[in-house]
Amino acid sequence: MSVVESDNYEPERRARRLAGPLFGAACLLATLTGVVVLSVVLGAVAAAALGHGSQHPWYAIGPNAWKLGRFLVSLTQKFSEDAGFRAGVYGSLWLLALTVLFAVPTGVGAAVFLEEFTPPGRLRRAIQMNIANLAGVPSIVYGILGLALFVRAFGFESFALGRSLWAGALTLALLVLPVIVLATQEALRSVPSSLRHAALALGASRWETVRDHVLPMAVPGILTGTILAVSRAIGETAPVLMVGAAGSIDWIPNGPGDRYTALPVEIYNYAKEPGVEFQSVAAGGILLLLVILLTMNSIAIVIRNKYRVPTR
């Protein structure tokens, strides 16, 4: 390259050298902004839950802080000193278990069929487009669908599930199903095609290739997508309200056919109470919900790391 050509490229080099650090600084600023905002919100919630400045002894920080455990053992009460979320926690755990039971096998199976067994074509593109669109539908729409389909069965009383855990879990399963399908498909696409070709060349059938080689490699991605989807479901309020979750109950559901409430619903009910003490109760419920979500994510990370296939 001549000296003249080198001089012509010098302004572009200077622009690139300047743009790189500026872009890095902008990304760092965006990250710090998100961290600071999240820290402030969590700090405010924690301060409200622990009753900073409150006169109620079981909110106090110090020797009586252990009384926050009443959240787990107390049922809904009219007085803030005795209020708790035991019914909501049990209801959310029931919903979580049933939603996973319905959504995960269906979503993973649908993704495997679409990605590994369905030939490319117009039908597959149409199905993919509809699944992607369903992933962006507002949750309240799923609540209306669940009300008509599961709670009322379009007027056929013999098939109606009523305002039971079955209806709530099936509605939440429909809500998270597109997310699980899309996440599983992305995990399957990340598996190298050479692995499939090698298994088929050695005489394995298509199903044996998927079962013994592709799925084990895709398990970490599938688990990550599943946990994210289920975490969304357990924090939803509008769909479960639409399908009949009680605002507050003073009993614990004993089976999938019982009436129920959920932790987000109880948080919503406490938050709209006029008393300041109930705002502290609602903040405590938010912390409790965060603990459940963080526990779920921690379990997912452990399982994902256990089944991750080491790369060479």
256 and 198 inside one domain: yes
227 and 101 inside one domain: yes
Structural domain boundaries, residue 36: 3-49
Report if residue 262 sits inside a domain: yes
Instruction: Return the DSSP state at 148.
Output: I
Report if residue 14 sits inside a domain: yes
Q: What share of the chain is helix, strand, coil (3-state, %, to 5)?
A: 75, 0, 25
Query: What pLDDT is attached to residue 271?
Result: 81
Place of tokens 């959920």: 262
Answer whether residue 10 shows pLDDT above 80: no
Answer whether residue 300 shows pLDDT above 80: no
Residue 102's H or E segment, with its range, is helix 86-112
Mean pLDDT over 31-40 rounds to 89
List, for residues 138-184, the tens digit of each pLDDT value: 889 999 999 898 988 888 888 888 888 899 999 999 999 999 999 99
List, for residues 73-99, the tens digit of each pLDDT value: 566 656 556 667 888 888 888 998 999
Report if residue 145 sits inside a domain: yes
178 and 84 inside one domain: yes
159 and 300 inside one domain: yes
143 and 234 inside one domain: yes
118 and 251 inside one domain: yes
Report if residue 211 sits inside a domain: yes
The span from the CA of 48 to the CA of 175, in Å, is 32
Query: Any residues with CB less than 8 A from the CB of 161 and at least 6 apart, and which?
Result: 150, 151, 153, 167, 170
238 and 278 inside one domain: yes
93 and 217 inside one domain: yes
- What distance, in Å, lies between the first and last C-alpha atoms of the chain? 41
Report if residue 72 sits inside a domain: no
Residues 147, 105, 299, 246, Cα dihedral to 10°: 10
Q: What percent of the chain has pLDDT over 90?
A: 17
Name which of 88, 63, 62, 64 is nearest 77 in CA terms.
88
Report if residue 213 sits inside a domain: yes
CA-angle at 275, arms to 274 and 280, nearest 5°? 115
Answer whether residue 310 shows pLDDT above 80: no
Query: What pLDDT is attached to residue 21?
Result: 82
Mean pLDDT over 200-219 rounds to 88
Query: What pLDDT is attached to residue 220?
Result: 84
Report if residue 34 sits inside a domain: yes
The span from the CA of 175 to the CA of 102, in Å, is 11
E strands in the chain = none
92 and 41 inside one domain: no
For the beta carbon of residue 271, count every other beta carbon within 10 angstroms: 14
Does this model's pTM top 0.95? My answer is: no
**Structural domain tally of the chain?**
2
36 and 145 inside one domain: no
Query: Do 87 and 270 contact (CB within 8 A), yes or no?
Result: no
Q: Report the chain's mean pLDDT, rounded to a whole number.
A: 80
Q: Which amino acid is at 200?
A: L
CATH number, domain containing residue 243 = 1.10.3720.10
Query: What pLDDT is attached to residue 170?
Result: 92
The span from the CA of 73 to the CA of 210, in Å, is 46
Report if residue 60 sits inside a domain: no
- The mean-pLDDT minimum among 120-124, 240-244, 270-274 falls in 270-274
